[in-house]
Amino acid sequence: MKRRKKRTWVETDVEQLLDLSAGDLVIVEFRAALAVALQKARKRKRLSQVEAAECIGTSQSQMSKMEAGQSTITIDRLIKALVSLGVSGPAIVRALSSAA
């Protein structure tokens, strides 16, 4: 990725571009992995976002935000949603390990 530094462009990565610490980057990657796992779990059960939201006890708009991995959604909320859709603990760990 390139970004502008003064009058020239320099090569950089997302971590530097967004000024993320190593810990912040891990959180972003974990949130993204859990969001993908949530969407896959919903689709595997052939549920709409509305139906999945009802199972989880939330709204469709919150379901959409969870599947998008928005930063306003906590990692523990994503894990609870996955468990509510019947995803096992080991499957959640596998999703997280794929992000690491």
Q: How confident is the model at residue 56 (pLDDT cuts 50, 70, 90)?
A: very high
Q: How confident is the model at residue 15 (pLDDT cuts 50, 70, 90)?
A: low
d(CA 5, CA 61): 38
d(CA 21, CA 64): 27
Q: How confident is the model at residue 100 (pLDDT cuts 50, 70, 90)?
A: low
pLDDT at 25: 84
CATH of 21-99, one of 1.10.357.10, 1.10.260.40, 3.40.50.12280, 3.40.50.1820: 1.10.260.40
Sequence spans of domains, the chain: 21-99
Taking the model in full, what pTM does it have?
Answer: 0.80
Between residues 79 and 4, the one the model is more confident about? 79
Q: Give the rounded percent of residues in the chain with a pLDDT score beyond 90.
A: 67
